Amino acid sequence: MRWSDSRKEAVFYGVNYTLPFAHAYRGMNYLGIDHKKAIDRDVYHFARLGFNAYRIHVWDVEISDSIGNLKENDHLRLLDYLFMRLRERGIRIVVTAQTNFGNGYPERNQPTGGYSYDYDKCDVHQNPKAIAAQEKYIAALVNHVNPYTGVSYKDDPYIIGFEINNEPCHPGTKEQTKSYINRMLGALKKAGNKKPVFYNVSHNQHVVEAYYDTAVQGTTYQWYPTGLVAGHTRKGNFLPHVDAYHIPFSNVRNFGKKALMIYEFDPADVMYSHLYPAVSRTLRSTGFQWITQFAYDPIDMAYANTEYQTHFLNLAYTPGKAISMKIAAEVAQNVRKGDSFGSYPADTLFKDFRVSYSQDLSELNRPTAFFYSNNTQTQPVAPRELQAVAGCGSSPVVSYEGTGAYFLDKLEEGVWRLEVMPDAVQVSDPFAKPSLKKEVVAVISRAWDMKLSLPDLSERFSAQALNAGNTRSFTATNGTLSNLTPGVYLLVRKDTKPSDNWTAEKRWKNIKLGEFVAPAEKKCDSYRMVNYTPKIYEAGKELTLKVQLAGWEQPDSLIVYTDQISFWNEHNPYKKMTRKQGAIYEVAVPAAEVKEGIFRYNIVAFNKGKRQTFPGGMEGTPLDWDYIGDQYWETRVVNPSAEISLVAPSVSSQWNGVEQYTVPQEGGACFLRKYIRDEVAGRESKLQQVQYLCVQLKGKVNGVEAGFITSDGFTYKAKGNTSQEGILRLPLSALQQTATTLLPHAYPVFLDKQFKPTTNIPFEVQQIESLEVSHLTENLVLEKAWIE
């Protein structure tokens, strides 16, 4: 794909976003939110994140009847409205014409009368009546005139092409598949379409040659490198998972004549902020020109992440991931097809970019731009040349205790626009079972100091609020804006007279200066608390209790009580927590009080006469005569010489964290894997002494392999036989670096199943993060595992 005027390669990076349809559409109704205003809010954030691409698979069941006629209804009108708003921001569009499945997920399907409901997903592309309905529908869709633009979809210059359908199912022959595609192409041509047409080739590998024997101009793929729908947050180093994208049928005739599109991608079920640029790098090196994440959460629903449980992306609610997407959009425009940066870990540094698992950080650092997704100590390469800064946390340019994203854009010499988003605090697992009744991230408009170290502004500058409802006007002292609240501000260096009238309505690039979008404030006087204290610790060592408090203001105090208190006794011992940075509070428990057993404690937030006890968040304190709470935070305290338990015997009703996978190999292989960093994090002294990995399986097993995946993402294993009791005892000195099996399996299924390292990194037990046990059988039961 090339631009028609310059003939330069056209590259697109952005998101899928489904508010006009299905659950997102209904969710706005449940919450009483105007759909168009919701679209306005989200599209503004697309612009701020630098996206130039948008893709949607249209729910044909919601805009068609049983024979393929197009329905002019609210869903179609909202799609039209969305397209108009995207055009205003300069964002290009690919329309996938049909999904051929229901509109329910995560709810039940709703009856709509659409033709797709009359056919099975794997029958809809070969049943003659279904094909006839699709021909009628797709022709009507491309000829539909958008009332907001006055232009039909087939003539809209911002719609760059059409994908015929989303993830088709072709159980038949190559000739049947080719015939279906040609009929759809014929219907589009007869309708007057001259835009490129794309087709999915990452499914139905038995007919892959048929795709390339048609006149489609582009082929589409997906990439879910960490699998889908884990039901919980995945942890570990996934950079080996995104190191390469090998297409095994790239030698098929006509392969090189088709443009490559990633219609959907996401490192699903993870909250890390460093993966998106690595994904973008790999896809661009492979030659993909269109890359769209699935799926961006509407801001009005993102607090609950109900739309697609396994995906979670929104500027307000996942600020680090959103800034990472902004960096990835820059990667897409700067990495070319065929660019090679070596294999992981060498490819964590490429061009002006860096990704780091240990720091959970992605960066863009060039003379004119400095973007970072997390705290960084990296120095900008040319501070005096900076035109744009975007980040989360603190850097040599911005010192900030808030947790929301911010943007600094130079308008002219000595004049900058500053945009600051509210704080975001994760309060529950966003990838667990979703509900609009459950908050997974709290967004709070707190005031924090922000110190700017921009040579162009110096240390003395004024700040004038620009966003609606914000009237603040103040002057920086030593480069610091005190008690800065979320919003948009015009910053002007002292003794500088702007050459332009930089007002709120002034257009700059694809935004207005005064535009600002954040979740509606829902102030309350209660708090939510997240505990980062180790769950397992060694006796006789000082234990630091660490929590993050989500609330609209700092409490008067946070007080820790253990479960040894006596009611109504004013002399009960307590510990007062100290604020360290932002909303992080800590207190040290002396080594003498850290004894074997279970260390239980409550934390009480006191503020303006009100008291709230955690972990339950219950009103009152454990000292109150009528306090009925019985919840405690707990840390299991063990003897420093005790073995380190990695997998305990499972309780019938409780998942022990072990996941099982089957990998197609010789005869098939069973892999058992568990993230065990939490089990070893508080056992530093014992880790320095351990010599053996012990695994207990159900029954005697010969030729079992066991070992660890480290924080480097590399795997170290050894093979052995279990005893009659099913116990395998491996010396850690026997573990050898081997290929890392990429689990869970990626989609599409043809991608590599292993990462084979080219760098030798010696095994260090202090770096272990996951336990892995494998055997050439489909039946392997892990009962217990430990290191001693």
Residue-wise pLDDT for 2-45, tens only, equals 999 999 999 999 999 999 999 999 999 999 999 999 999 999 99
| β strands within 104-206, DSSP E | 145-146, 151-152, 159-163, 197-200
Tell me which residue of 30, 16, 47 sits closest to 508, measured CA to CA. 47
Residue ranges of E strands in 109-247: 145-146, 151-152, 159-163, 197-200, 218-223
For β-strands 197-200 and 218-223, DSSP reports them as parallel
Contacts of 256 (CB under 8 A, 6+ apart): none
User: Across residues 288-296, what is the average pLDDT?
Assistant: 98
pLDDT value of residue 630: 87
Which H or E run contains 286?
helix 275-286
> CA dist 582 to 362, 449, 511, 519, 610, Å?
22, 10, 30, 20, 22
Q: Is residue 80 very low, low, confident or very high in pLDDT (cuts 50, 70, 90)?
A: very high
Return the number of other C-beta atoms located less than 10 Å from residue 4's C-beta: 7
pLDDT of 181 over the 90 cut: yes
- Closest among 366, 414, 355 to 390, alpha carbons compared: 366
User: 116: helix, coil or strand?
Assistant: helix
Q: Tell me the range of 227-241, 511-525, 636-650 where mean pLDDT is highest.
A: 227-241
Residues 6+ apart with CB under 8 A from 711: 237, 357, 358, 767, 768, 769
Q: How far apart are CA 120 and CA 124, in angstroms?
A: 6
Mean pLDDT, residues 326-352: 97
d(CA 595, CA 141): 70
pLDDT of 667: 57
CB 329 within 8 A of CB 293: no
> Domains, the chain, ranges and CATH?
12-341 (3.20.20.80), 349-512 (no CATH), 528-638 (2.60.40.10), 644-787 (2.60.120)
For 270, the token pair is 């993870």
Give 13-53 as a DSSP string: EEEE--TTSHHHHHHHHHHT--HHHHHHHHHHHHHHTT--E
pLDDT band at 623 (very low <50, low <70, confident <90, very high): confident
- Residue % of the chain over a pLDDT of 70: 98
Nearest to 17 by CA among 297, 290, 266: 297
Question: Is 80 exceeded by the pLDDT of residue 655?
Answer: no
The residues facing 670 across adjacent strands are 662, 775
Q: Could you please report the per-residue DSSP string of 510-565?
A: TEETT----PPP---S--EEEE-S-SEEETTS-EEEEEEEESSS--SEEEEEETT-
Give the angle 660-664-737 at the CA atoms, nearest 5°: 75
81: enclosing H helix or E strand = helix 74-88
User: Residue 653: is its pLDDT beyond 50?
Assistant: no
Taking residues 164-177, what's their average pLDDT? 96
| Poorest-pLDDT segment among 91-95, 128-132, 147-151, 620-624 | 620-624
pLDDT at 666: 54
Cα–Cα distances (Å) from 606 to 184, 341, 616, 621, in that order, read 66, 53, 15, 9
Name the average pLDDT for the chain: 95
pLDDT of residue 192: 98
Average pLDDT over residues 768-773: 98
Contact 388, 369 (CB under 8 A): yes
Return the structure tokens found at 640: 């420093």
pLDDT digits (tens, 9 = 90+) for 731-762: 999 999 999 999 999 999 999 999 999 999 99
